[in-house]
Amino acid sequence: MKAITIAKTIVAILLAAGGGIAPAVFASKSNLARADASPRVIEISAKKFEFTPSEITLKKGQPVILRVTSTDRVHGFTSRQLNFDTDIAVGKPAEVSVTPDTAGDFMVICDHYCGTGHGNMKMKVSVVE
* Window contacting Cu ion (CB under 5 A); options: 11-19, 30-38, 58-66, 115-123: 115-123
Please report whether residue 121 would count as binding Cu ion according to CB under 5 A. yes
Please report whether residue 110 would count as binding Cu ion according to CB under 5 A. yes
Which residue, 123 or 127, has its beta carbon nearer to Cu ion? 123
Which of 71, 61, 17 lies closest to 39, judged by CA? 61
Q: In this structure, are residues 77 and 68 in contact, taking their beta carbons and an 8 Å threshold?
A: yes
Which residue, 110 or 127, has its beta carbon nearer to Cu ion? 110
| Pairing mode, strands 84-88 and 75-79 | antiparallel
Helix (H) or strand (E) holding 58: strand 55-59
Interface residues for Cu ion in 35-94 (CB under 5 A)? none
Residues that bind Cu ion (CB under 5 A): 110, 114, 118, 121
